[in-house]
Structure 1
């Protein structure tokens, strides 16, 4: 019996180690897409310039400032920036070994970690050079500490709750929404069920507002700007599928009477409310929500699954753990194939033989982010402009009518575009475009043309 107990105690650590290695195994490639190239370009600026640029974008500054510090210590490269995201993934898993294992039990810890590993796109975001993975960690920690605070009444949980919420809010707008919903739930619960905690939660609100006050005006300006100029054009079908899946899982868990308790109801409200608000705004006001934004509550979803399976039979738990393990393995295989897609590497190996540092590149879409990163010494000309493009120091933004004056007949010129983007008429009318190559990057395919004057 003692040996069985020791094996059971070791199992969460084994799962943690394996899932961490899954994520680490995905960093050894140089593939990146536009948003990641934006991150890599942005952190080359000094701290004040980063904040200045982000004020014109839709991102709070914490992730980018933290990443810059990390790169100042360990170096600026794609691999290092991926490592920073992997650390966020490992931190999310570690919640299962620490606070979840301590305050709940081994089984909850195991199912939580396996669910984190099994959710589609989880490993994908673990190596993205974006804020999502650290958002997942801080939002999950915020939820756990809020739950422990209203259950245990201990002030240190409230303090950690506020700190984690602030860190979430300074990482992403939808992380801010997530912790706002968590705060609202805690507030309503305390007013209705436990007014002894009212003083503590009021102080928490004051601390949260005070801590976030430096970014409130930029947030309002960003929201105003996004209301008229956000890139999304309609409702993303995947966001509806994810929302429907969340409702189905929630309904299955609530179908068992023993599951109609505070932790599960709290988790369901936290998960679905983010999606309901995002979809409501997108459908009735302005497209502003896509499926990846709900990843901020991925850790809470993992806890929901863990809480929801707590009262089922041991055999059923074993089956669920086996299924989650198989899904985790499937996720690392699929993500590995995706991350190690050789298309970009093969393209650059071919393209390096026909281009030189004196060549000029023209763009009419976000293809400039990728090419300007890989060919920093070349001339890069983009025919449209957003204020946050100032992150890219080596890209010129000019009116399409002035392109002729920028190109000499002796120049070697390339036009690169996403295959989903139409070739602009000003190029068709004034230049001969010859398709020379294509490459795939993330979920996009890009076409490369040679450009010659007619």
Structure 2
């Protein structure tokens, strides 16, 4: 008896091969146009260590180790170059798109699968992160495929789907820390659905979920450590809502956050298509609507939970929280577009989306936005000797120069801070971290010292302080190299060792704070000085200030021109935050009504919200109060 094999759809196979091949070519355009930036150089440094050390360093950096282990294996085989560092991210995007021929096709059909793949290969943010030596594209792949197979497992209860869901979820959690949000949300929604609609799948769900949780425990302890440490009831930083908006716009923007004014229109159009998709599926009672609802619920709740995490732990880049769930957003968008029946119009919309996305792709691939390290290297290569030392005051330049100048010693000066708070500082061994107590011993034997700084860094004052104290003496004027993104600018100053720093030198300042724009002469002004490790939020919902992190408090009366002045005396050098408010009724708290602030308030706004530098004997800052409408 002959077994008849199913006929292959060669047209379908050839179409997908051509699409993915074209995508591979397109994604490789300009892959080396930007130099490695500091996070990529950290990746390059981590993967040069043994796998056992990679796990330790990655966890110290707050990241799961799986991506670094896989990239190390890939680099061991194909070599350590900038191309081999970034090319796996391109493969990650191809894998995301290939889901259109697998679970997306299985759920929605060939049409949606093909449109989804085309949109993935065209979406600006995804094409940008294909050029990053980071785990972002693989996070999207594992999270998206985990959600798709989780849906299929809950609906059809097949063993193979449950196994895929288990493995893909474990991979997503161990490739990127913020993937915990969509994974937890998806598993919760699946449990509710199975318990109500398909209890036959409950046993397999429990086995899969328990296995995932057990494997994730080491990463979980590392990820939630800052949340447990900093948990409080304090309100969100003032820029939380704009940050959430940027997270929603992220798929249609670029990785560097440079707006080309097309993000909002494309996002509005995509939301309209998703709304049409949901309406159509529920009106016509199509099963597709469950997957769209499932995916969009995971997407929205992920961003909400990201905002909560940012509140109780520490502020984070919301765009990075939304990265793992970009795939499910594109699935919903693609399904909405695929409802257009006329093939010609569908093709036209896909082409228009690609054309509109081109400016972002062209801009990133044609401009060197990461840092001026190429010009910096040209400037230094004929001026430095192998026994010269680079002294850095910022982790980012330390990362960059440790990669691009591996033959020279690199030292990161951190003042009086605890070096254990820094991320993956031991990835660059034998380069070292020094404080001002052992700084002189680290640089005294070097003939030439090159001071490397970010002019926009919050630690820029460290260099000025060391020169002022005579620990180093500059021998040439500072040379500055500019980037299209000012944050990446680099300054270089040639210097020699000076004198040993005496611990008896008083490094203190008197901080004079002037408060402007008060709207009345009633009451008092309360000014809180926060220590350098605190960057808000400054008050809780009851109006009480965060006294646990308050360094000092002053109260001032209101004088002529509706201003007030207070002075903090003998404040040690370092970085601080100030929060001031107009206490009109003299009750010593900032008044709230219906959860909204009633009285005027403000803080210092420099490089980071609320942070300013104390580096001289006299420091003056001004705060302009704002009042609620």
* Fold in common (TM above 0.5): yes
Q: Which residue in the other structure is 1:380 paired with?
A: 410
1:368 to 380, 387, 398: 398
Change (3 A) 1:71 1:343: same
2:57 is the alignment partner of 1:53: yes
Change (3 A) 1:336 1:37: same
Cα drift, residue 275 of structure 1: 0.7
Separation (CA, whole Å) in 2 of partners of 1:60 and 1:209: 15
Cα drift, residue 149 of structure 1: 2.1
- 1:34-49 matched pairs, under 5 angstroms: 34-49=38-53
2:280 is the alignment partner of 1:258: yes
Separation (CA, whole Å) in 2 of partners of 1:321 and 1:248: 13
Change (3 A) 1:371 1:167: same
Cα drift, residue 302 of structure 1: 1.4
Change (3 A) 1:187 1:34: same
Which secondary structure does the structure 2 equivalent of 1:108 belong to? helix
Cα drift, residue 435 of structure 1: 1.6
Separation (CA, whole Å) in 1 of partners of 2:339 and 2:304: 28
Separation (CA, whole Å) in 2 of partners of 1:233 and 1:350: 41
Change (3 A) 1:282 1:221: closer
- 1:16-31 matched pairs, under 5 angstroms: 16-28=20-32, 31=35
Cα drift, residue 40 of structure 1: 0.8
Which secondary structure does the structure 2 equivalent of 1:361 belong to? strand
Range moving further from structure 2, 103-112 or 259-268: 103-112
Separation (CA, whole Å) in 1 of partners of 2:178 and 2:73: 24
Alignment size in residue pairs: 447
Separation (CA, whole Å) in 1 of partners of 2:223 and 2:372: 38
Cα drift, residue 9 of structure 1: 7.1
Separation (CA, whole Å) in 2 of partners of 1:364 and 1:340: 22
Q: Which residue in the other structure is 2:491 paired with?
A: 447
Separation (CA, whole Å) in 1 of partners of 2:158 and 2:208: 13
Change (3 A) 1:222 1:78: farther
1:188 to 169, 192, 202: 192
- 1:154-165 matched pairs, under 5 angstroms: 154-165=158-169
Change (3 A) 1:324 1:151: farther
Separation (CA, whole Å) in 2 of partners of 1:117 and 1:33: 24
Range moving further from structure 2, 334-343 or 254-263: 334-343
The answer (yes or no) to whether the contact 1:436–1:450 under 8 Å persists in 2 is: no
Q: Which residue in the other structure is 1:242 paired with?
A: 247
Query: With structure 2 as the length reference, what TM-score do the two structures score?
Result: 0.65
Task: Spell out, residue by residue over 1:264-306, the C-alpha distance to the aligned partner (whole angstroms, 9 max, x if none).
Answer: 1111111111111111232455313431231111211111111
The answer (yes or no) to whether the contact 1:235–1:290 under 8 Å persists in 2 is: no
Change (3 A) 1:310 1:224: same
Task: Spell out, residue by residue over 1:47-70, the C-alpha distance to the aligned partner (whole angstroms, 9 max, x if none).
Answer: 111112223221011111111111
The answer (yes or no) to whether the contact 1:56–1:222 under 8 Å persists in 2 is: no
2:377 is the alignment partner of 1:355: no
- 1:198-209 matched pairs, under 5 angstroms: 198-209=202-213
Separation (CA, whole Å) in 2 of partners of 1:117 and 1:227: 40
Range moving further from structure 2, 35-44 or 109-118: 109-118
**Structure 2: 5+ residue runs without aligned partners?**
1-8, 250-263, 283-288, 499-629
Cα drift, residue 312 of structure 1: 2.9
2:94 to 90, 111, 119: 90
- 1:262-301 matched pairs, under 5 angstroms: 262-283=290-311, 286-301=314-329
- 1:108-127 matched pairs, under 5 angstroms: 108-127=112-131
2:423 is the alignment partner of 1:402: no
The answer (yes or no) to whether the contact 1:125–1:132 under 8 Å persists in 2 is: yes
Query: With structure 1 as the length reference, what TM-score do the two structures score?
Result: 0.88
Separation (CA, whole Å) in 1 of partners of 2:429 and 2:484: 22
The answer (yes or no) to whether the contact 2:449–2:495 under 8 Å persists in 1 is: yes
Separation (CA, whole Å) in 1 of partners of 2:102 and 2:272: 29
2:481 is the alignment partner of 1:438: yes
- 1:69-84 matched pairs, under 5 angstroms: 69-84=73-88
1:320 to 317, 342, 349: 349
Cα drift, residue 180 of structure 1: 1.4
Q: Which residue in the other structure is 1:415 paired with?
A: 451
Change (3 A) 1:127 1:258: same
Separation (CA, whole Å) in 1 of partners of 2:128 and 2:448: 37
Task: Spell out, residue by residue over 1:57-99, the C-alpha distance to the aligned partner (whole angstroms, 9 max, x if none).
Answer: 2101111111111112222222211122222122112212333
The answer (yes or no) to whether the contact 2:46–2:54 under 8 Å persists in 1 is: yes
The higher-RCO structure (CA 8 Å, 6+ apart) is: 1
**Structure 1: 5+ residue runs without aligned partners?**
none
Change (3 A) 1:293 1:317: same
Which secondary structure does the structure 1 equivalent of 2:183 belong to? helix
Q: Kindly report the root-mean-square deviation, in angstroms, between the aligned alpha carbons of the 2 structures.
A: 3.0
Task: Spell out, residue by residue over 1:281-337, the C-alpha distance to the aligned partner (whole angstroms, 9 max, x if none).
Answer: 324553134312311112111111112223234254233212222134334312212
Q: Which residue in the other structure is 1:336 paired with?
A: 365
Q: Which residue in the other structure is 2:511 paired with?
A: none
Larger Rg: 2
Cα drift, residue 406 of structure 1: 3.3
Cα drift, residue 46 of structure 1: 0.9
Separation (CA, whole Å) in 1 of partners of 2:231 and 2:410: 30
1:146 to 147, 150, 155: 150
Separation (CA, whole Å) in 2 of partners of 1:129 and 1:223: 27
The answer (yes or no) to whether the contact 2:246–2:318 under 8 Å persists in 1 is: no
The answer (yes or no) to whether the contact 2:391–2:452 under 8 Å persists in 1 is: yes
The answer (yes or no) to whether the contact 1:361–1:414 under 8 Å persists in 2 is: yes
Which secondary structure does the structure 2 equivalent of 1:130 belong to? coil
Cα drift, residue 212 of structure 1: 2.4
